[in-house]
Structure 1
Amino acid sequence: MNPALGLAALAVVIVATIAFGVYGLRLSRATSDFYVASREISPLWNASAIGGEYLSAASFLGVAGLVMAYGVDMLAYPVGYTAGYLVLLLLVAAPLRRSGAYTLPDFAEERLGSTAVRRVAGVLVAVIAWLYLVPQLQGAGLTLQTVTGAPRWTGAVVVAVVVTGVAATGGMRSVTLVQGFQFWLKLTAIAVPAVFLVLAWRSAGAPALTGQDVPRFSHSTVVRIQDPVRFDVTEPVTVRVRGGLDGTDYRGRPEQAVRLADGEHSVKGGASLTFPAGVPVPHQVGLAPASGAKWAAPLSGAGGRSHPLYAVYSILLATFLGTMGLPHVLVRFYTNPDGRAARRTTLLVLVLLSVFYLIPTVYGALGRVLAPQLLLTGQTDTAVLVLPQLTQAGEGGKLLAALATAGAFAAFVSTASGLTVSVAGVVAQDLLRGSTRGFRWASLAAGVPPLVMATATDGLPVADAIGLAFAVAASSFCPLLVLGIWWRGLTDLGALAGLVAGGGLAAVAVVLTSVRGPGRGWSAALLEQPAAWTVPVAFAVMVTVSLLTRHRLSAPDVDRVMLRMHLPEEVGAQPAAPAVPVPAARRTGIRRPSAP
């Protein structure tokens, strides 16, 4: 891709983001503007904003990359991402909005009357948000490197600076305007090139996606290597090489013909390999070649993933239940005028996400036949970026690639903005007394740790990394919300024990997976996809400890909070939103109005 076009696409997204942020700043005056946009966001725009921040690097790049590499089992990710909003609609959206809280820690303290639970919830909000932010920044670095050749850390720094500035200056109102605009930009940026991609596939004779053969080069193909990579060759092949291959430097001389035997080989960054037509595509070490039929067969272990049945169900559980525990998603429901608007917002989100998630699957499927070299480099996450230009020659292909690049950066910026606001809200309320100035300083502090982690580590595939954040959310906040809203018997000690057990175990699994990387066998499967066992543990611990500590329940306080969450607006007047966050008001001695 032309680097100038890539930079132009990046500039358009940044300028538009800053423009909407400045406009939102003009509307942001009170503290509630910064935290919940004064609860005045309409369902359609709020649904667009939720879609804007929810369709992250995992959605725009990662789903296509995983489907391309590992087959139809990876459709569990988009199915779970979308279906999670159905659970949110049925169990959480309206009661959470009626609770009057500003953040998840607010809800925890309001429901359970415990500062300890609030603090643990605050720590988990930061952990989940940072786990989610790291792959956004890494995806931004990968995108900028792909389209311009810039160092990978550059994209991470650019996105971190932009989103921190928008969040710090305009708060939730600015971020809402930015994210609503960016959803429609992302949908356009991924849908338009997909149309031309399908037309190119048909004009090439519609090569079969589900045949009995493994991916092969359809024509003589030059594979340019950006980062060092190790790959497996299944059939001996003669390639032309420029650069470092298997410890020999072929740089500074004409392309050298080299015979690659069966087995593992290594190539240095900056090298290029030219493969003849018709030979099987070597795959990155750790990614097993799979025929089209195996790739399209559910639970076949395509790509070499072990225990696919367990992995699929664990992914579904993490994404299905983890959605309700994502702090940047839940904070959106505090911006609705009432519970009815919150339900309407969730229904619209289901529609918008269902439309969007049809498209990355197309990129993943066609990538195997139109850009199989990505299986060698291991950069299947870039399929959405490189396919438009590979399939469309001339200026048209460059423009489509630039449009896809703009959508990718919109995905990083919008999701990172929501996450930054979520962490800033928690930090500002718990440490900086909930002031507007405190929120701005907290926004600056919220972006530093994930930026350091993103630039210091290579990371997992984008969707895998975000799936781990979903696992932590499903193992901590999902039990807290479901039991806190629908079971009056939940006690503060029960919630505290469940948060520590479920969230702690999932977090340990995430750390071990990140350190050791992908592995084989049951131990690797349990750590890489922990939700299937950590979610039941969290629910069991919360219920068991609550039953053992029933004496700690205060019936009048519990009844008051439960009434506030479940009493429809038509029956009783909703208490007015306080000028400052509720727990902060309580700590200063201000009494909150009782529920009707």
Structure 2
Amino acid sequence: MDYQFFVSLLLIMASFGLYIGIALYNKARATSDFYVANRSVPPVFNGMAIGADWMSAASFIGMAGTVMIMGYDGLAYIMGWTGGYLLLTFLLAPQLRKFGRYTVPEFIGDRYQSNAARLIAAVATIIISFTYAIGQLSGSGVVIGRLLEVDAAIGTLIGVVLIAFYSALGGMKGITWTQVAQYLVLIIAYLIPVIFIALQLTGNPVPWVSYGEIVGELKALDAELAISEYVVPFTENTKWQFMALMFTLMAGTAGLPHVIVRFYTVSTMKAARWSGAWALLFIGLLYLSAPAYAAFSRFILMTEVAGSSINNLPAWTTAWVDTGQLSVADQNGDGILQWGELVISNDIVVMATPEIANLGIFVIGLMAAGAMAAALSTAGGLMISISAALSHDIYYRSINPNASDKKRLLVGRWSIIIATVVAGLVALNPPGAITQIVAWAFALASGSFFPALILGVWWKRSNGPGVIAGMLVGLSVTLGYIFAAKYGGFTILGIIDTGAGVFGAAAAIIANIVVSLLTKEPPQKIKEEVTDLRYPEQMTYKNGEVWIEEAD
């Protein structure tokens, strides 16, 4: 165990040193570096950074565990998160890049010519990013807690210190190149175990092909134990919840401020589209592997752990019980651990599987480093979004428009430090599982930013009063439904708190359209700017005609 601890610690510390070194080398020295990496990131590397930003602790740590426990119903997470990138890449990212602002609230304020709308959007950015960050810091606590064999709360505090340091130092420029390194670490860490487990269980090292064989065996085991079948849909939730969750994650993806701002770091609309294409490829490597991971983990637990003597369980169980993420109890007193007596958190399945499959200390350590990379990469991007909302959209645009670059950088860095510490304190006692907390952030984004951005780009008639009404109504409905469903047991058609975004988005779109139609139209100049966003960068819409400015 000591040797395993040493190897894991060495791999994690080496990766930490790499991230800090990159941040120091790419230290932000101007506001354009801090907010948009000087718009100079090549599309393929931006795609990697997007992938790392996107593949958070929820994706790396929680997704396979959610699918393992929920079965078919857990696929809503994979389909929703992947589909959302298609919406973002084709309907929003290139257009927002052409508009040429630093942040999403800045786009909303200038597109709708409303300072009030910009301030509301800045507050919404802080709320959404803060909620999402709680999930990431909670994930880092799970990883560090297991590594050091301490409570997850102590692990969370260690993660807070690291994230606050390299995020505040490097800004978007430093975080972008740090995320490229983090993507390479996390995808290697994710693929090596699942490939070796596939080889171990099926003799085929291609998990995306071979895991179907294991799913067939799981069906037989489910029938034998008389439990819910793994591949039967809508056993955990209703079909309406499945569709609502999928929509919430898709619309939320297209409206998340920390994801959208990644498309601002490239030089052109074309580069933004290519960034999205590369990101889908890099993200697909993990998302296509998660169902295989889930099937393999469930199979090993059902065949090699369940049914064992309670006094002769594998050594790995003791370490995970100490973290509070695993519970084993001989409830019927027969001395045998039954499947129903094994309670495993969604959030430890991926982390524990290399130990469960006895893949060796190097793979276990590599998995720990990958999980930390996933949690840190997304948390860093979220902190930049919160910092930009506070220092750029609120402080610079509303409080002190004459602030120097040095002053704005100082405010931005302190914003990151304070936000990370506060989010870390909340993450010490998280209000739900990682995937659940992250789903709330997506619900809030789908009820606020998604309608504002879609209508802002594709409906010229949408105006300032309309977007203000839409964001306020959307946020209120989404928050209200989350609290009513989670704490009051209130649901519509079986849709629980994680699917709240479908109601928020619908309410926001209706409010935006109704109020826009009842109030004054936007100026003709704004209408032409909106129409102009839909054309490639070489084309400009002027006076009712499309002008080609240069050859492609």
Q: Which TM bucket (shorter chain)?
A: 0.7 to 0.9
Q: Structure 2 vs 1, CA of residues 206 and 90 (structure 1 numbering), >3 Å: closer, same or farther? A: closer
- Describe how 1:66-85 pairs up with structure 2 within 5 A: 66-85=66-85
Aligned to 1:477: 449
Q: Which residue identity does 1:49 align to in structure 2?
A: A
**1:338 corresponds to 2:268:** yes
Aligned to 2:377: 414
- From 195, 201, 211, the equivalent of 2:219 is 211
Q: Structure 2 vs 1, CA of residues 533 and 397 (structure 1 numbering), >3 Å: closer, same or farther? A: same
- From 432, 448, 459, the equivalent of 1:487 is 459
- Describe how 1:220-231 pairs up with structure 2 within 5 A: none
Q: Which residue identity does 1:570 align to in structure 2?
A: Q
Structure 1, 321-330 or 371-380: larger mean CA deviation: 371-380
Aligned to 1:56: 56
TM superposition shift of 1:167: 1.8
- Describe how 1:526-565 pairs up with structure 2 within 5 A: 526-549=496-519, 551=520, 553-556=522-525, 558-562=526-530, 565=533
**Alignment TM-score, normalising by the size of structure 1:** 0.77
Q: Structure 2 vs 1, CA of residues 206 and 76 (structure 1 numbering), >3 Å: closer, same or farther? A: closer
Q: Which residue identity does 1:538 align to in structure 2?
A: A
**1:449 corresponds to 2:384:** no
**Alignment TM-score, normalising by the size of structure 2:** 0.83
- Stretches of structure 1 that go unaligned for 5 or more consecutive residues are 217-279, 281-288, 574-594
Q: Structure 2 vs 1, CA of residues 453 and 68 (structure 1 numbering), >3 Å: closer, same or farther? A: same
Question: Deviations along 1:330-366, whole A, 9 cap, x unmatched?
Answer: 1111111011110111111111112221112112111
What SS does structure 2 have at the residue aligned with 1:41? coil
TM superposition shift of 1:562: 1.8
- Aligned-residue Cα RMSD (Å) equals 2.5
Q: Which residue identity does 1:438 align to in structure 2?
A: V
Measured in 2, the distance between the counterparts of 1:366 and 1:522 equals 35
**1:290 corresponds to 2:263:** no
TM superposition shift of 1:568: 3.0
- Checking the alignment, whether the CA contact within 8 Å between 1:502 and 1:534 is kept in structure 2 is yes
Q: Which residue identity does 2:501 align to in structure 1?
A: A
Measured in 2, the distance between the counterparts of 1:390 and 1:203 equals 18
**1:502 corresponds to 2:474:** yes
Aligned to 2:333: none
Measured in 2, the distance between the counterparts of 1:306 and 1:101 equals 41
Structure 1, 500-509 or 105-114: larger mean CA deviation: 500-509
Measured in 2, the distance between the counterparts of 1:112 and 1:322 equals 21
Measured in 1, the distance between the counterparts of 2:360 and 2:72 equals 28
Measured in 2, the distance between the counterparts of 1:344 and 1:430 equals 28
Measured in 2, the distance between the counterparts of 1:206 and 1:212 equals 10
- From 391, 399, 403, the equivalent of 2:366 is 403
Q: Which residue identity does 1:354 align to in structure 2?
A: G
What SS does structure 1 have at the residue aligned with 2:150? coil
Aligned to 1:221: none
What SS does structure 1 have at the residue aligned with 2:432? coil
Aligned to 1:15: 17
Measured in 2, the distance between the counterparts of 1:86 and 1:440 equals 33
Measured in 2, the distance between the counterparts of 1:321 and 1:206 equals 33
Measured in 2, the distance between the counterparts of 1:482 and 1:430 equals 21
Aligned to 2:352: 386
- Structure number with higher helix proportion: 2
Q: Structure 2 vs 1, CA of residues 78 and 130 (structure 1 numbering), >3 Å: closer, same or farther? A: same
- Structure showing greater Rg: 1
Question: Deviations along 1:404-437, whole A, 9 cap, x unmatched?
Answer: 1110000011000000011101100134327222
Q: Which residue identity does 1:322 align to in structure 2?
A: G
What SS does structure 2 have at the residue aligned with 1:377? strand
What SS does structure 2 have at the residue aligned with 1:432? helix
Question: Deviations along 1:300-337, whole A, 9 cap, x unmatched?
Answer: x1xxx342x01110111011111111111011111110
Aligned to 2:251: 321
Aligned to 2:126: 126
Question: Deviations along 1:230-280, whole A, 9 cap, x unmatched?
Answer: xxxxxxxxxxxxxxxxxxxxxxxxxxxxxxxxxxxxxxxxxxxxxxxxxx6
TM superposition shift of 1:491: 1.2
- Stretches of structure 2 that go unaligned for 5 or more consecutive residues are 205-212, 306-325, 327-339, 397-402, 542-548
TM superposition shift of 1:532: 2.6
What SS does structure 1 have at the residue aligned with 2:536? coil
Q: Structure 2 vs 1, CA of residues 448 and 511 (structure 1 numbering), >3 Å: closer, same or farther? A: farther
Measured in 2, the distance between the counterparts of 1:407 and 1:50 equals 16
Measured in 2, the distance between the counterparts of 1:215 and 1:152 equals 36
Instruction: Indicate the percent of aligned positions where both proteins have the same amino acid.
Output: 30
TM superposition shift of 1:533: 2.1
